[in-house]
Each structure stands twice: as structure tokens, then as C-alpha cells.
Amino acid sequence: MIYDRPPMPLPSEERRAVVTSNFDRGVPQLPPRNGVPQLPPRNKAQDASSRISCNELEAQARLSQFSFSSAAEGTLLDFDNILPNSAPLAIFPQAAHEVPLPSGTSRDNIPVQTNKFYGNMLLGNQTNPIWTHPYSLWFAKDPSFFGLAVSHTTESQRVYGPGSPPPYFFSPNGIKSIVFSAQEFDSPNDLSLNLGYFKHLSAQAYLQKNSDQYIHFPLIQGMGFVTAIYHNVQPKLQSAVGFLSFNLVQSFGNIRKYNIMLQDQREWTLYVTVPDSVSLDLNLLDGNTIAASQGVPECTFQVVVGDGNEIDSAAGCYPTECSLTCSTTDSTGYYSISYSLAGSSSSAKTLLYALPHHVRSFTDAMASRRINSQVQSTVCGVMTGYITNIFELAVSIPTSLEFQPFTTIPGIDNRPTYSDEVLDAIRSAASSEVNGDVINDSNLNSMYFSGKILAKYAWILYCCQYIINDSGMVSALLPKLKTAIGRFVNNEQILPLKYETTWGGLISTGAPGEDFGNAYYNDHHFHYSYHVIAAAIVAKVDRDAGENNWLAQNKEWVENLLRDYANPSQNDIYFPAFRAFDWFCGHSWAKGLFESGDGKDEESSSEDVNASYALKLWALATENRSLASLADLQLGVLNTSINSYFLYSNTNDIMPAAIIPNKVSGILFENKIDHTTYFGAELQYIQMIHAIPITPASSFIRHSTFVQEEWNEKLAGIVEKVNDGWKGIMLLNVALFEPRKSYDFFHSPTFTPAYLDPGQSLTWSLAYAGAFL
């Protein structure tokens, strides 16, 4: 689907800088190959003797992680030993990707992230924005205002679509509130933007004239300051909005604090840190330019939107990268995001902003670090300021969630029970569906659609083995399902996979626009998770049915798929860590190597859940306790984020009140929420793309209260007009709040297979809905 949304309206002085959103997933332009200098070494800021060095906090952060995990009394996850890190299977041919890394990009012998927040800076002409939250940053090449531009937008600047409820809203792009530059930078053509030191939560950007003259920008999610470390240049700040006033507020140690008021009445604060032996004055040269009095070997500029004396204690200190620590107990998952710091501040901490789902999950230890500073994010509500070097969070996790049907409906036992009548209905459906042609049905030119078919038959197999206990049906279906999966294990499908060596991952050999952009890393967690679930069920049934040889023969292939989208190890040299899942935002991003004026996006929160659920089922099939704990924790985090930003119960106080009646986000971008899908705007598509597939994991995320609200307000009025596979999804979704109604639909004598989605079986629909009558 090509969006028909209007361009984002901007203030008149900014319109020439507009880059309208690339709403479709078309083929991006390839990055230029012009030669540029290699990345300079990372900065080690000089510390003022009267202030506490933040560099010392790296060891303290490790101690904090240890004490945090110990306090949790759980199992600390060793990310390097959850999955293997061997080379990809030889069955996958190797080749470079047609989208090269930008010249000057340092890979550091590790794979480069494809779906992370800084992706736009690696694609095309590198001028589309990235979102660190609460800021957006981009390489501005306007001849009058060039450098690294910074913007922050408020709630009042949001643009809403027509109607009530509005179908979309976004924040305007391209407002160059602050532009970091230097007097030595003569034109945008003199500069290159180089990135390196890639982590799943951070990267380093360098705006360079040459290898000696450059500005270093740490890119960290949640950073409260936008920090620029100048090297061998004369610093300059510009604003296309215009400076209304610029005043020195105070000096403390080797830091000077300035107040900046822009022509749009927005207030910013600038902190400038210089070495002890250096004197540096700043002057307002004209209504758009602030410049330093001289060049310096090194100095640090930090800007923050707004003002607040509490922030002073963090000035001079900034995050350079993040590390993740996770542990679990029987019912709680703990995770911490630890920020390595540089520079110095009076608190020995820096300023970080937390999203609403963070704040609701913070441990008690975070309360004392909170300050009276709140800023608006683009699409995820109000962010809250903390003076800290670590986020510590705890979430409820579904340790009892396994293969069998599962529910969280209040007052219902989550252990499935079946009456004889229900068992007869399941058996009747299965007796027909086990005769389906899974081998040919799954022979498709799409990892996504073939995976859905394989998973459908795998759930039928599960029902035959564990619910109706029919060995004859198992014997009929299991060999066919093994053969169907074997086509993919042998890489003999219509569009085989290959391992590409530029970014590092398994991609389709199809064209960029085929299979939803799989070849450009779109939707890998959606596609591959269906295959993983099918494999997990086959492995379990094969073992319990007495054969017990399939797992050993196919385990490595399955774990190659897992490593592509969910590898947890930063030290895996073949696949990036957590390609899809974003531990800061709390969910995955589906967009790969495609530029976008609104950033990364995801349109199916439920298939995001399916990706983590696949980890859990594979962990159970392989008896990998660490992987099971990781899956439980990701599901716990998804429960908080999805019910904050994707699914809108009537009590949701995070998202704009105007869009709550939509009940779901539609496509959630980093800068926009659009109540539509990439494949059509029918209401059942928009609502149910956040429900498919209905599995035992669905009820943990899609709470019964929300599902009933959505049914009453959006779906009940249209369900009788829907006569295709979306009807079956809608009615199985009803089992999340009223199992009897759902079961009666599928058991009705008027039921027709036309109501089943290609990835849905009548057997599973009856088994799930009938488990909780």
C-alpha cells in the first residue's frame, strides 16, 4: 500500500528543509561511495579536578548490575551462552548486500544493525532524521544551516488527520532548532557523516571535515543532553528558527551554562565544558548564529530542551553506550539498562529521560533519581527525567506459558480442560485437516506465508498428540510436516535464503519488494518466528511420540533463524544482537534497510509477541532454560509497552485522548501513528493485524478488558459483513474474553472454511476456544 497522507506542514522558514515521509517500502537509493577519512578514536573527556569523573562509573555500573541482579534473587542471563555463535550453515550461499555501508563506516568486525533507531543515518544521503527520544537528529545539508540538526516537538505542534477519531497524527520534522557546526565547515559538501561502534542501544556519529577536525556525537536512546564533542575546530551553533536571546547564566568549575530562547518561544539550555587550561567565549553573531571566540583542541557542548536547576548536577557528563543485564525469578523479570559515561559532573551521573512504560516498571531504587523534568515524546507520551547512570526495571513474566492453551481471563483457571463434546468436535475437525497437503500448501515464494502454513499444521499436530491423543492422526501428519519443513532446511524453497556479508544476516534471494522486503531485513521476526514455532512443535511431538531424532538433525538450522532476528550476544560475529527487539522502546521494529521520514515502524504488535513466544517454545523443545527466561522477560516487557502504545484500553492515559477510540495504533512509527496497514485500510485489517495469530501467548498481552472494549466499539458492528478469513480471526479473538461465544461460532453447523485465515485451522480454533468453557 502506498500511503496518501499529506506532507508534514512546517513553519515557513523550515519548508525548504522538508524531507517528506517515504510511506511505502519501496527500494531505497543506494548510499554514495565517496571516500572519507576513517573514524577518529572515541573521545576521553578531560575532567575538572573539582568534579567527579564519570569515566570512573563504568566499574560502578558493573557493580550496580551485580547488586541489582543479586537483589532480584533470580537467574542472571549470560547472553553469550544462550545460543551458539558458529558460522551460518553452509547451505546458505554468501554474498554482499546490494545496499552497501556508507563509506567511512566502521564495522569493527561485528554485524551492523539494520532495524535500529540510527538506521536512517546509514541509508541514502543520510539526511533523514533519527529519534533518540525525546530528540530527533539529522544531517542537515541546507547551504545556510548545515551540520547536525536537533529538534524537539511539543504536544501543541502535533498534526492530526481529519475526522473524529483522527486516523493519524505526527510531529513535524525538519525544524532546525539547534544545528551543531563549526566555523571551519565551509559547506555541506566539505563534510561527511560517519558512524561506528554499533551496539543495539547506541552508536557513535562523527561529523568530519577531515581526520583531525570533527565533531563526535554519541547517539544513545533516552539521552537527556544532545552532546557534541568538538575536536580542533571553532564551535558554532545555528538555528533556522532563530535566536531571540542568548545569555550566560552562570559558571561552575569548567562549565558555563547559557540560556537560549528561540523565536518560537522555546527555551533551551546550553552547557559548555572546556579543559582547565582553555578559555572559550561564545557570542551571538546574528539572529541565527552563535560562535565561539576561538578554536580549541577539545570541548563539549550539551543542549537540553527547557531549563531546570536540577539538571545542572548532570551537566558535563554524558552517556557513550549502553549495556543490558537481565535476570528472572518464578514470576518476575528484571532488566537494567546501564549507561557508560564520560566527562564529569557534580553528581557523577547524567540526565536520562524515561518513557512511560519505563516509569511504570521502575524498581523502588529509581524513585530517588527522578527530577521535576518532563518532556513530550513524539508518539509515546510524556518522558520523565532522571539523574542516573542506570535504569532498573521489573515486569511480571509468564513462566507458566508453554504450548498448551493459556488464558488470563479473571476467574477462569488457566489450565485447559475439555468436555467430551469439545474433544469430539476437535477430533472431527482434525480428522479432515490432517489430510491437508502441507507439503504443497507451504511451497510458496514467501517465508512469511509459508511459515504461517507450517505453523498452522504444527498446531493441528499438537492438538492430535496432546489434546485428542490420536496416534493415528499424528502418524499421518508428522511425516508430511517434516517433509514440508525439510524443504526449507535444505534451502530448496522457491526463494532460498542466503547469508549476506555486508550487514550480516539471512535474507531472501528475492527482489527487494518481494516477501514484504525480507531481502532488506523487513519483518524477519514475523517471518522466521512461524518457522521456529512449527519446528518447536515438531521437535516436541517427535520426541514424545518415540522417534526423537528430528531435533538433532534440524536444531542448527532453526537456531540460525533465531540468531538472525533474536541473537542475544553482542559477541556473535555473524548476526547482530537483538536485530528486531528494542529494549529501550520495549518492542520490536519491523522496518529494515529502507529510509523513512518517520523512522522505524511496526504494524503487527501480535506478531511481535509471536516472535518472542517462538523463543519460548523453542527453549522448551530444546530444554534451554536461559532462552526460556529471555523469552519470558521479552514477553513481560512487551506486555507493558504494547498496552501503552499499541493497544488502547479506555483507561489508557499515555496516548493522546483523541486516538483512544481507534483502540489500536495501526502502524506505529517513531514519529507517527497511522490507523491503517500496509496492505489496506479495511477496519478488520487494522484491528486484527494486532491480533494474529491467536496462540496461547495472546491472552498474556491482549487483556480481556481491552479485547471486549475493542469488540464492542469496533468489531461487533462489522463482523457480519466480513465473510473471509478475517472473520475467523475476529471470532477466535473473542475467546480472549468470552470463550463460549467463540467456540459456538466455530462449532456452528453454518460454519464454513471460507472463514479461516490461511494460517488458521478449525482444529486449533476449537481447541483454544474450547479449553476454557
Which residue numbers are catalytic? 523, 603, 607
Give the CA angle between residues 372, 375, 379 to the nearest 5°.
Answer: 145
ω into 7 cis (within 30 of 0): no
| Euclidean distance between the first and the last CA atom of the chain, given in angstroms as a whole number | 40
Spatial distance between the Cα atoms of 193 and 39, rounded to a whole number of angstroms: 10
Count Cβ atoms within 10 A of the Cβ of residue 557 and give its class: 0-12 exposed, 13-18 middle, 19 or more buried.
Answer: buried
Spatial distance between the Cα atoms of 661 and 642, rounded to a whole number of angstroms: 16
Tell me the residue length of the chain. Answer: 773
Cell numbers 561506528 correspond to what residue? 196
Q: What is the maximal distance between C-alpha atoms in the chain?
A: 87
Residue 341 C-alpha cell reads as 559515561
Spatial distance between the Cα atoms of 56 and 70, rounded to a whole number of angstroms: 22
Residue 562 C-alpha cell reads as 533465531
CA atoms within 13 A on the CB side of 543: 12
214 beta partners: 208, 231
Spatial distance between the Cα atoms of 606 and 695, rounded to a whole number of angstroms: 10
Dihedral pair phi/psi, residue 335, rounded to 5°: -145, 145
Helix or strand (DSSP H, E) at 168: strand 168-170
Spatial distance between the Cα atoms of 572 and 499, rounded to a whole number of angstroms: 14
Count Cβ atoms within 10 A of the Cβ of residue 5 and give its class: 0-12 exposed, 13-18 middle, 19 or more buried.
Answer: middle
Instruction: For the beta carbon of residue 195, count every other beta carbon within 10 angstroms.
Output: 22
Strands 497-500 and 94-95: parallel
Residue 325 neighbours by CB under 8 Å, 6+ apart = 65, 68, 69, 76, 77, 335, 336, 338
